[in-house]
Structure formats: structure tokens, C-alpha cells
Chain A
Amino acid sequence: MLKLEDVSLSYRVGGEEPVVAVEGASTEIESGELVMVYGPSGSGKSTLLQLSAGLLAPDNGRVLVNGRDISGLSPREAARMRLHELGFLAAFTSVLPAPAIENAALKLIGRRVSWKQAEDQVRPLLERLGMGEKLDRDGRHLSMGERQRVMIARALSGKPKLLLADEPTSNLDSRRSKEVLGVIRDLCHETGLAALLVTHDPQAAVIADRVHVLRDGQLTDCEPHELTVALEG
């Protein structure tokens, strides 16, 4: 579903030396597979996700989503692919001053469906994520953990083939974290969803099919039980 082929990206800050964000990263994620990417702050995790979503274009290499090179697509085609085939959860997303269910439905209304149809589609997801009691609560009055779950529901709405999530459990306690990751795990099994999650949370590794570590822009394979050692370097 997602294939990174020797992907590199560097950027320059002012007149300073270029900073390498991602260097020669390669991996492949099949349908139904859940892959975690770990790495310390500033290691390039978010950049890797943005490359995978076609929001950034690599300097070298290719990013293939469902067999199509997303970096070669026009902005309009890339946007269409994100809307219909991808679910993207950013680390920082603003909530609308609207009910939780409308916040979750925001992606679907971009597909020319009515608010009602969109809400009908996201309601089961929100219930599954433990938000069934708070569907009508204003997004601004939700706790950080609740907002996080609304955003996960938004990313998973519309049955995407690939989920790209940046720190999906960062605001959740360990019990909620396990529940949310369990939902994603189950969706991978049930619907063939491929998921690439970048995280700091070592607990999350236990449910992953595969684990990568990103350090100084380089992506390496890692066994879950070796994770702590790998992260400490």
C-alpha cells in the first residue's frame, strides 16, 4: 500500500548548512499491516509522514501509495488521493468550535456528502473510540485526550486504505492509549487498512507488526523487544 524507495529530504535554514531530515529511507507497508516508527524529537518522524502523504516532495527517491508515485502527482491529484485513500492525523490539529461529531465529519464533507451522511458515517467510529457519550459536546470543551480521539475518528473516516498518524496516543493515558491502538489494530485486520504510526510511546510497539527506528534521518528495522536499547542508541 505504501512504499518508500530511498527517500531523502533536506532543508536549509537561512544561509546555514542544509539539515538532513530524512536520508535514504526505504520501507514497504502492505494492506492490513501496522507499522510503528520510533525516534527521538527532531529525528525526522513528522517529515517522513508528510512525505508519505504527498505534503512534501522528496529531494531523491519515490513515495508510492497504492502503486502511484504521490510525489509525481499534481497538488490537485495528491489532495484527491489524501481525501479518498488516506487518513492523516497530524500532531497538532485545531478543533472547530462545533460538536465533536461535526469535528470528526470534517474530512467527509470535503467529499461532497451532506453533514448528516458524514455524521452517520463517523458516529460508529466515535462510539468505538469511547466518544459515544460526548458526540454533541463542543470541541473546545473536550479534554486533550478526547480531542485526540475525535481527530483519530476524523482520520479513519471514509474508510481510508492507508492511515498516517503522528503521535496518535500522545495525549492519552495508558488505558485509553491501549484502547485506541486496539481499535486501529482491529481496523487493520477487518478492513485491510495499512497504518504507519510515528510515536514516542514504547508501549505501542507490542501491537505493531513491524517497528522502525528513525535516527538522524535514517530509517532502520528494529524488533519490539530491542526498542529501548535501539532508542538509547
Chain B
Amino acid sequence: MRWATILRLYRRRLKETLAPELLALLGIAVGVALLYASQVAGSTLSGSAARLATDVLGPVRLQLLSRSPEGMDQSMVARVRSLPGVRVADPVVELPANVIGARGSDSVQLVGLEPAATKISNATIRRFSNAQLEAQEAIAVPASVMSKIGSGTEPVTLQIAGQRRETLIGLKIGARENALVASSPLVVAPLRYAQRLAGIGHRVTRIFLTPQQGREGAVRRELQTLAGNSLNVRPAAFDATLFEQAATPIEQSTALFAAISALVGLAFAAYAMLLTVPYRRGMVDDLRMLGYSSGEIVKILAVDALILGVLASLLGLLVGELLSALLLHADPGYLVFAFPVATQRHVTASDLVLSVAAAMLAAFGGVFLPMRAQVFGRFQRRGGEHTEMSVHRNVAALAGLACLALTTAVLYLAPQLALLGMASLTLAVLLILPAAMDGVVAVCARARRRILVATLRIAIVNLQYPSNRVRSLAIAATGAIAVFGAVAIGGARENLQRGLNNSSMAFNDVGQLWVAPAGAYDLFTTTPMGAKTAAGIEARLQGLHGVQSVAAYRGSYLDVGARRTWVLAPPLSTATPISANQIVEGSAVQATRLFRAGGWMVVSQALASEHDLHVGSRFTLPTPVPTMLRVAAIGTNMGWPPGALIMNAEDYAHAWGSTAPSAFLVTPEPDVTLAEVQAQVRTAVGPHSGLAVETAEHRIDRGHVASHAGLVQLSQIADLVLAAAVLAMAAAMSTLIWQRRPQLAQQQVEGKYRTTLWVALLIETSLLLGTGCMTGAVIGIYGQLLLSHALATVTGFPVVISAGGAIALISFGVVTAAAVAVVAVPGYFAARVRPSILFAD
């Protein structure tokens, strides 16, 4: 059979099958879009982090890195340059900051570079001499930051290390200069100016090096000697390694959620495809009777699948592209406080190939799997279907229970295999649903004799029609899977959010009133204030009559192996330095006692596993002054993916060789209200200090907002699944109702009113979707537990593990009600079908 002939046949058939084919296309496209958008988001972050250093500085190979946020003396640059084999050595200052413009603010990294070193905007910079550039008191701002802060020629404010500085924007780095940098959260300034802005004198945070050809090993050894135990020698792209490690848990959780969404999307597709089965089955029967060979029929079906797959791929990629650009865009969340991560979209070939392959798999599977017996087997005698169906249903229900058992095993024995567990749960939903549906229909049928309401009786009779069963099951299954996915994803996200909120509370509750650098960039209070500023502030605060005590809080990031850990060092006087809900192994009471004794720390779980640490173990931290501390307890990562360390502020000062605080914790006198003290402290600090005076409660709220923003992708995925579910079910149900117009016409002939038929359709829809959605919601709660366990185990996030009934009820209610509401319109028109369509002759 010629391909042109097959295509013409396809076009002809499409007139009749357009609605179900479009529905199947939509289902596949939804799955592909979710898969593609989440893939692109992952590729974008990791790809950008890897390229940023070389895009700014060129082909540097090594770096000498300060272990302290206060950096190292600039004299080290000359010593590095004098090492044999060093071709180029470029000092860099890098500090987190907040840039405030006319329209808003943004968290950035201030990067100070020697002008000759930078590659950014070569064309622009080369017009000036080094001396001219050194004299510039302006910063270069990427286009992405400019669009957020909305500044032009007017001065902008930089909040940095607890200070406020006014400056001008001298250069906008657009995509033409450097596309990656243009989308990065950093501002660039000449080195000396950056040092002045940060008030750090002649200090730099790292030195990037390019060794002479073939001398890298020797230079590394020399550097190691120079670094001793107070500096780190690392590859130039080490930040990319750190970022990859830090982003992995977020990417894992997003990928897990996205994979489940894609699973849901492809299940929509598979079940939407079921609506096309009766048409194809009729065609295949006719062709076989006419004498078409299996090969010819396979060719005809392959064209169906190919067209569906190609169109669904295109639509899915288009929708996915829009989703990834507008909604599920790559968001590094609060990792941006420690890493300059660009969000320039980075689409890889594997993102495209995987998405198209998924679409093709769904299309070919959806076309061929239901047809395989019909195409390749003997011509089937129809009969005994009811009994066979009952047997299949019971076997399926048993298999569904086996899937639940498998999921339980995954939950308790290997939560890291959550994806397998979720696939098994999805299968359980599909396998148990026929029994649940038949159960509901049987109960309704038993009650039918006692029911006097005509509409309800008609609805129950319609559900009992064997000819409607497969399609009804397909629609109920679509709803079941969607609600299952939404409950599992939404519930796990809520559990994660609650866990992060608990961490935020545990971190901020160590003091009643915080005086810390203002701006979102210092959410974790990891930037030390300048020693002079700190001393002045402390003296002023001590003198206030409403203040009982002022204590120094210290904190920063510390690179331990490939982890940029978050160090929290509350003052010794803190009432509850370690919250019981953040302890994974050990006792909070004991840990608090040891914290006060000094020389002990709480280590997060992943870090402890990596270094085989247990309660009581000794571990030497790679701090500026390497210090051995003992493990008082194992804790969560406090919501910071690479891990967290909690020690007292005195131990911190010793290990970092600096008494510079990151914040002051103010305790009010007992007879003075917190609000009164806050006002006094604000006045004492002054309006232009760059410090914020906040209550613990306010900081906790800020933490909630930040963690919510960090999880926004997960919320969006959960919402998308719900929206897709409503659309898919409404479309599927509308198609089913439209196909049933002859049956409705027959019922009119039998004397049923149109309104009665319409209401009966709505009741039938409610029963059908309600059963499906309820099955999905119940099993979804189990999925929520599994996902929460997986998140806690795999990512180390502080997840609160609970089964949320509310989200299950809401998802069930929203999907069912919305789908019934949408179906009401086509149902109304279908119920008004003219009885004359029965009499075509």
C-alpha cells in the first residue's frame, strides 16, 4: 500500500476521529511539556554555573581561595605572581550585596576585578587605559539586574557588609557583551573601588591563576606551600563543582516532581488514547475482513502514531518552551546568596531528544498496545466479555494491592528509589480503579430500585452500559492519576515547606531582636560586619536603657570538601541554640549542654555520612585556623542543601581567627516592650547604616517567604498537574458525551425530558469522576508520604513527614467540581440532540 494512499485514508478518517485524536494529542503534549520544561530548568543552572568563571576571566586554571569571608591580604597577589611558572595572577574581591535602584532591589555578588583581567565587554573596556578604569567610581550591571532594579543614570544604593554605599552604573552588560554574564546576578567594579565599597581595605577573597604551559602541577604545589593551612588551592572552576553539589538536592526534588508530572501527563495521554480505540478497532476489523495483511495494517497504524507523535512533540515542545521561559524557569532560589548563578536558558540536545522520545513512546504505545491482539492475533469472537472483564478486574485489583506492597517496601527499605515507588503507586491507582468503579456502580445499582428520582436512575443505568465501560474507566483513570499526582506532589511540597519553616524558626529564634546587614542577600546572616563598624554599634547598643544585653552572632559559609556549608554560631548565652525538631541523631538537651561547654558542634546528616561522623566523633574543620571540634549531634541541613554546622560564637571566633560579628542579638529589659527597644535600636543604629533591626518573628516570616519562593517551581508543577487534570477530564468527558448523542436521542424517543437527561449526565459525570478522583486522592496520600520520606532521605531537607488530608480533599473537590462544571456546557447541547438523527433513512 502506497504511503500517499495511507495518508489520504488518514485524512478521511480524521473527520470522524478528530476530537479524540486532539484529546490524545493534548494529553501527550502536556506530559512532554512538563518533561521538557523541567529538563531545561536543570540544564540551565548547571550549565551556567560551569561557564561563568571562564566567561568573566578567560581560561584561568587555578585559584587561591580565602577560607574566611574577610578574605586575605592583597600582598599575597605579589607573592603568587612571583612564583615560578605563573603566567597570570588576577586578584578578585567577591562579596554578597544588595543593589537597590529606582524600581526595586536584587541580591547580587559584587565582583571586584583588575580591569586588565576582565574579558567582559572587551570592546568597551579596551577603549580605556587601566589607569582610567581604576579611576572610575562606577559599577557594571548585567541587563537582568538592571531590569529588576530599574535604574538608568541615577545613583543606585549598594548594601554590603552592613553598610550602605551610593554609586553609579557605568556600564550595562547586555547580551551583546556577554549573554551569560548579562543574565547573572552579579555587579562588577574595578578592584580598588570594590574594596572601598565593601570597606575591606587591601584585602581580596581569591586569586585566579593561569600557569605557563606544562607547569600546572608545579604551580599547584608551590601554591599549596604558600596557602598552608589557612587558604585553599582549588581548580578555577571549583565553584561549579560546589554549585553542582549544592543544587543537586533541589534538582533532585524538582526532577522527582517533574518526572511524576510527566508520568501523570503520559498517563493522561495513554487514557486519552483509549478514546480512540473504538474507532481504530472498527477500522482494523473491517480491514482484516477485507484481506489487508498485518503488515499493511501496521503501516496504517504507524502513520496514525507518527502523525500523533510528531504533532504532540511539536505542541509539547512549544508549550514546554513557554513554560520554561515564563513559569518553570531555572531559579537557583537562595543558592544565589552563595553562588553567582546565571539563568541564561541553556537547552541541550538531550532535553529535546528525551522529550520527543517520550512523545513517540506514548503515541506508538497508545496506538499499538490496545490493538496488538487485533492486528497480530486470530480474528476474535466477541462474547463472554462480562465474565472475562470480572476475572480481569479481580486480577487487576490483586496486582494493585501487590503494587501497594511494593511501594511500602520502597518506603521503608529504600526511599531513595522513590521514582520506582511512585511508578508502582501510579500503577496501583490504575489497577485498583476498575474494582472501585464496579463497586460504586454495584452499590448504586442495588440502590436503584429504591431511588425515585428519575435523573439519578438514568445516570446509574448509563453507568451500567457495558459499551460505555472502557471509555468511562479511561476518564475516571485520568482523574484518578491527576488527583493522585496533585495530592502526592502538593502534599510533599507542603511537608517540605513546613520543614523549612521550622528551620527558619530554629535559626531566628535564638534572639528576640536582630541587628544584622540589611537586604535579602544576607538572609542567612553570613556576612561579617567591619570590625570598626561592629565595635561602634555594639557600644551604642549597650548604652541604651531598654537593652538588657547585646551578644555577637557569627556565621558564614565554609567549604568542606565539595560542600559549601552554612555555619551558624549563636552566642553562648542563647536559650535554645539547637532546636529539637532539627536533630536527626542524638539529643537536643545534650547537644545544648555541649554547645555551652564549647568545642562541640552539630553536623548535618549528609556531611556526617560523607565523613563517617557520629555523635562523639572528632572532626577538624578546614577553617582559616583549622580547628578540631567534636560532634554533639547530627542535625538536618537547616534548609541549606549542602549542609549546616552549628557551633557557639566563641568557637567560631577561634576557628576563623576573627571576632567580627555577623549580627548582634539584643535582649530587652524585662519591663520594656520589644517594639520600644526596636525603636530605640533603630535610632541608635541610624537610618543610613546598612543594618536592619528586625524582630525574630519578622525574620522568620522573611525566611518563610524565601523558602516559599525557593519551592515555587514545585508548587507550579503541582498546580499545572491539577489544571491539566481538569482540562483532560473535561475534554475526555465532553467527547464521551458527544459520542453518546444517539443514545440520548433514543432516550428522548422513549419520553425522557431534555432537562432530565442533562441533569442525569451531570450526575453520571459526578459519580464517574468522583470515584476516580477519590481513588486517586486516597492513594495520593500514600504517595505524599513516600515523596516526603524520599525528600528527607535523599536531599537531607528538614521535611515534616505527615499525611495531609486537607490537600487530598481540596484536590478531589476542585478537580471533580471544575470538570463537572466544564462538562455541563457540552452536556447541555448533547442532551438537546434532535431525535431525528436516529432516523437517517
The interface residues of chain B lying within 8 Å CB-to-CB of A13 are: 383-384, 387
Report how far A107 CA is from B5 CA in the complex, Å: 12
The interface residues of chain A lying within 8 Å CB-to-CB of B676 are: none
Number of interface residues of A (CB under 8 A): 41
Q: Are B292 and A14 in contact (CB under 8 A)?
A: no
Contact of B378 among A12, A75, A86, A114 (CB under 8 A): A75
The interface residues of chain A lying within 8 Å CB-to-CB of B15 are: 97-98
Q: Mark B741-773, 1 if CB is under 8 A from A, else 0.
A: 000000000000000000000000000000000
Q: Mark A5-35, 1 if CB is under 8 A from B, else 0.
A: 0000001111100000000000000000000
Q: Are A56 and B379 in contact (CB under 8 A)?
A: yes
Q: Mark A96-107, 1 if CB is under 8 A from B, else 0.
A: 111000100011
Q: Mark A107-138, 1 if CB is under 8 A from B, else 0.
A: 10110101100000000000000000000000
User: Is A177 positioned at the interface, with any CB of B under 8 Å from its CB?
Assistant: no
Report how far A112 CA is from B388 CA in the complex, Å: 39
Shortest B714–chain A CB gap in Å is 45
Given known contacts A13-B384, A14-B387, A75-B294, A96 and B12 CB-to-CB distance under 8 angstroms: yes
Q: Closest residue to B377 on the A side, CB-wise?
A: A75
Report how far A11 CA is from B290 CA in the complex, Å: 24
Q: Among residues 429 to 450 in chain B, which have CB atoms less than 8 Å away from a CB atom of chain A? A: none
Given known contacts A11-B383, A94-B283, A109 and B16 CB-to-CB distance under 8 angstroms: no
The interface residues of chain A lying within 8 Å CB-to-CB of B290 are: 82-83, 88, 106-107, 110, 154
Report how far A81 CA is from B388 CA in the complex, Å: 32
Contact of B292 among A11, A53, A79, A81 (CB under 8 A): A79
Given known contacts A53-B289, A56-B379, A79-B294, A15 and B5 CB-to-CB distance under 8 angstroms: no
Contact of A143 among B282, B286, B840 (CB under 8 A): B840
Q: Mark B208-219, 1 if CB is under 8 A from A, else 0.
A: 000000000000
Given known contacts A14-B384, A94-B283, A109 and B289 CB-to-CB distance under 8 angstroms: no
Q: Are A144 and B841 in contact (CB under 8 A)?
A: yes
The interface residues of chain A lying within 8 Å CB-to-CB of B2 are: 112, 114
Q: Closest residue to A173 on the B side, CB-wise?
A: B841
Given known contacts A56-B381, A110-B1, A143 and B841 CB-to-CB distance under 8 angstroms: yes
User: Is A175 positioned at the interface, with any CB of B under 8 Å from its CB?
Assistant: no
Shortest A175–chain B CB gap in Å is 15
Report how far A76 CA is from B841 CA in the complex, Å: 38
Q: Closest residue to B290 on the A side, CB-wise?
A: A107
Q: Are A80 and B381 in contact (CB under 8 A)?
A: no
The interface residues of chain B lying within 8 Å CB-to-CB of A107 are: 290-291
Shortest B290–chain A CB gap in Å is 5
Report how far A102 CA is from B5 CA in the complex, Å: 11
User: Is B296 positioned at the interface, with any CB of A under 8 Å from its CB?
Assistant: yes
Q: Are B291 and A83 in contact (CB under 8 A)?
A: yes
User: Is B171 positioned at the interface, with any CB of A under 8 Å from its CB?
Assistant: no
Report how far A135 CA is from B15 CA in the complex, Å: 18
Report how far A144 CA is from B839 CA in the complex, Å: 9
User: Is B617 positioned at the interface, with any CB of A under 8 Å from its CB?
Assistant: no
User: Is B9 positioned at the interface, with any CB of A under 8 Å from its CB?
Assistant: yes
Q: Among residues 387 to 405 in chain B, which have CB atoms less than 8 Å away from a CB atom of chain A? A: 387-388, 391
The interface residues of chain A lying within 8 Å CB-to-CB of B381 are: 11, 47, 56
The interface residues of chain A lying within 8 Å CB-to-CB of B387 are: 13-15
Shortest A58–chain B CB gap in Å is 12
Q: Closest residue to A143 on the B side, CB-wise?
A: B841
Contact of A93 among B9, B286, B293, B384 (CB under 8 A): B286
The interface residues of chain B lying within 8 Å CB-to-CB of A14 are: 384, 386-388, 391
Report how far A80 CA is from B296 CA in the complex, Å: 11
Q: Among residues 267 to 306 in chain B, which have CB atoms less than 8 Å away from a CB atom of chain A? A: 282-283, 286-296
Report how far A109 CA is from B287 CA in the complex, Å: 11
Report how far A75 CA is from B378 CA in the complex, Å: 7
Contact of A57 among B8, B286, B378, B388 (CB under 8 A): B378
Report how far A216 CA is from B286 CA in the complex, Å: 27
The interface residues of chain A lying within 8 Å CB-to-CB of B834 are: none
Shortest B155–chain A CB gap in Å is 70
Q: Which of B286, B290, B378 has the most CB of A within 10 A?
A: B290
Q: Among residues 358 to 386 in chain B, which have CB atoms less than 8 Å away from a CB atom of chain A? A: 376, 378-379, 381, 383-384, 386
The interface residues of chain A lying within 8 Å CB-to-CB of B295 are: 76
Shortest B375–chain A CB gap in Å is 10
Shortest A50–chain B CB gap in Å is 7
Shortest B279–chain A CB gap in Å is 8
Given known contacts A79-B288, A114-B5, A12 and B384 CB-to-CB distance under 8 angstroms: yes
The interface residues of chain B lying within 8 Å CB-to-CB of A84 are: 291
Q: Which of B16, B286, B841 has the most CB of A within 10 A?
A: B286
Report how far A145 CA is from B839 CA in the complex, Å: 12
User: Is A222 positioned at the interface, with any CB of B under 8 Å from its CB?
Assistant: no
Q: Closest residue to B387 on the A side, CB-wise?
A: A14
Shortest B289–chain A CB gap in Å is 5
Shortest B684–chain A CB gap in Å is 83
Q: Are B289 and A55 in contact (CB under 8 A)?
A: yes
Shortest A165–chain B CB gap in Å is 12
Q: Mark B825-841, 1 if CB is under 8 A from A, else 0.
A: 00000000000000011
User: Is B13 positioned at the interface, with any CB of A under 8 Å from its CB?
Assistant: yes
Report how far A106 CA is from B384 CA in the complex, Å: 31
Q: Closest residue to A106 on the B side, CB-wise?
A: B290
The interface residues of chain B lying within 8 Å CB-to-CB of A96 are: 9, 12-13, 16
Shortest B837–chain A CB gap in Å is 11
Shortest A11–chain B CB gap in Å is 6
Contact of B294 among A57, A76, A88, A102 (CB under 8 A): A76
Q: Closest residue to A110 on the B side, CB-wise?
A: B292
User: Is A207 positioned at the interface, with any CB of B under 8 Å from its CB?
Assistant: no
Report how far A84 CA is from B290 CA in the complex, Å: 9
18 examples of A-B residue contacts, CB within 8 angstroms: A14-B387, A55-B289, A56-B381, A75-B294, A79-B292, A80-B291, A86-B291, A93-B289, A94-B282, A94-B286, A96-B12, A106-B9, A106-B286, A106-B290, A110-B1, A115-B8, A143-B840, A144-B841
- Residues of A whose CB lies within 8 Å of any CB of B are 11-15, 47, 50, 53, 55-57, 75-76, 79-84, 86, 88, 90, 93-94, 96-98, 102, 106-107, 109-110, 112, 114-115, 140, 143-145, 154, 171
Could you list 9 further interchain pairs (A-B, Cβ under 8 angstroms) beyond the known A83-B291, A97-B16, A112-B1?
A13-B383, A14-B384, A14-B388, A57-B378, A83-B293, A88-B290, A102-B12, A110-B1, A110-B296
Listed from nearest, the 6 A-B pairs whose CB atoms lie closest are A83-B291, A14-B387, A82-B291, A97-B15, A13-B384, A98-B12
